Amino acid sequence: MKNKYIDIAVEESQETPVRLEDNIEKYIKICEKNLNTYIAKNIDYGDSFTILYGKFGLKSSIIRLHDKLLRLEQLAENDAEVDESIDDTLEDLINYAIMTLIERGK
């Protein structure tokens, strides 16, 4: 997918220590990984998010996002006793935010 802003931004960032082009590549990889996770979890668990959003609206999303933010806070302050990293939690937040945007756009 071509984005009209990428060429402009990359050209303007050539003088900076961390080139925007490098961050754009990382951004795309993170998005692709999250898309694959979203697809895999929907195959494994079904679309429970859409079902709950249909029943309870935005509050269902707020609760899930809040749970993940609390987990992030705990992981940042303490060693984890479970097999979930800060990155895993951030990726969950990304996917819940995107799924919320999808539901709000219906």
Are 13 and 55 members of one domain? no
Average pLDDT across each block of 10 residues of the chain; the chain has 106 residues. List them in order. 68 66 90 96 93 97 97 86 86 97 96
77 and 98 housed in the same domain: yes
Which domain covers residue 62, as residue numbers?
Answer: 47-106
E strand intervals along 28-99:
none
* pLDDT value for 1: 55
- Regarding whether 55 and 42 lie in a shared domain, the answer is no
Please identify which residue in the block is written with the tokens 């925007």: 20
Rounded Cα distance between 34 and 94, Å, is 8
Regarding whether 105 and 59 lie in a shared domain, the answer is yes
